[in-house]
Structure 1
């Protein structure tokens, strides 16, 4: 059961890799794979029960995937301390830009949805 679910998840990742590399799409292959999996779920090509147990297991143990990068950060702590401003300022600015863009996109989508609802109510 779990092997079939893992195979489906890894297949989506592999197809995303093939699409990214083969078509030269400048989007990471894992993002393409997840989008393909999402569309397969939305259009009923794959049912949620076909991947749910393994996906839940992966999400529950997601913290383990961050152990190695955290140890790597600890190894280069002196370098990071020397370059703190060069790291922190762009990071802070990019977070602010991300919040601003996400807020504007959300606001625009809400406005579009309210216009659509208003048009439907007029009919």
Structure 2
């Protein structure tokens, strides 16, 4: 029983270190994959395009002609070109099709206007669900 009490914290610590090491490796791979022209998102939520990659910093163009310097660790994600274009320019994704336009020549259907009143409304209520004035 005492052995289990001693092993549980040790196992938890080992698992925490493994997951942290995996995250660090993924971040390192992403930072080495940075190249000029790639779209990125910073940890602050800023979307920009990489203009230059230095030893410890990255030059990001946040607007046409506006270049800022960030540390490599400030880059949260490198985006696919289509995803970056959709975010920056507001273009829909390829799988989203525009809704078909309604037929203008079609006659409107004879429908009742929506009402909050129930079919068997009490006598004290006016038509349309509003209370009658007393």
Structure with a larger share of its residues in strand: 2
TM category, shorter: under 0.3
Greater length-normalized contact order (CA 8 Å, ≥ 6 residues apart): 1
* Greater Rg over alpha carbons, structure: 2
